[in-house]
Amino acid sequence: MERSSTWFSFSTSSKIEGHPTGVARRRFDPDRGMRRTKVEEESKKKKWSKGKVKDKANNAVVLDKNIYDRIMKEVPTYKLISQSVLIDRMKVNGSLARRAIIHLEKEGLIKKVVKHHAQWIYTRASAKE
């Protein structure tokens, strides 16, 4: 059984039927020509930015007297207390923030709202309790 060779051929002719010369020609349009040059200017090779460089955090890794006093004074007044809040506001690292939260809870200065293995959320202890 012999196959015809036309089953896979595609037409690559650029001639247009009904056109006198068989080939489509563009007319010069000054506005279009200007647009083309603007597009060519915009389509130059794009330069990729290096991205935003985040500043290195210089958080404390050892709790000194000044930081301890600030934590004991300011943190119990926060409405929302979490590890990330202490890291941002007190400029301490994550392990110190966790230890501070545990200490404040034992002292009764803050109360637990949610304690998930990944996120601890506390709030200030109300004076009525």
**CATH number of 86's domain:** 1.10.10.10
Name the band, by pLDDT with cuts 50, 70 and 90, for residue 86: very high
For residue 54, the model assigns a pLDDT of 80
User: At residue 85, does pLDDT exceed 70?
Assistant: yes
Number of domains in the chain: 1
Residue 56 sits at φ, ψ, to 5 deg, of -70, 130
Tell me, yes or no, whether 69 lies in a domain. yes
Give the number of other Cβ atoms within 10 Å of residue 78's Cβ.
15
Cα distance between residue 89 and residue 54, in whole Å: 17
Tell me, yes or no, whether 78 lies in a domain. yes
Tell me, yes or no, whether 40 lies in a domain. no
The two tokens of residue 1 are 């059984």
For residue 49, the model assigns a pLDDT of 75
Tell me, yes or no, whether 83 lies in a domain. yes
- Taking residues 97-101, report their average pLDDT: 96
Say which DSSP state 46 is in.
Answer: P
Tell me, yes or no, whether 86 lies in a domain. yes
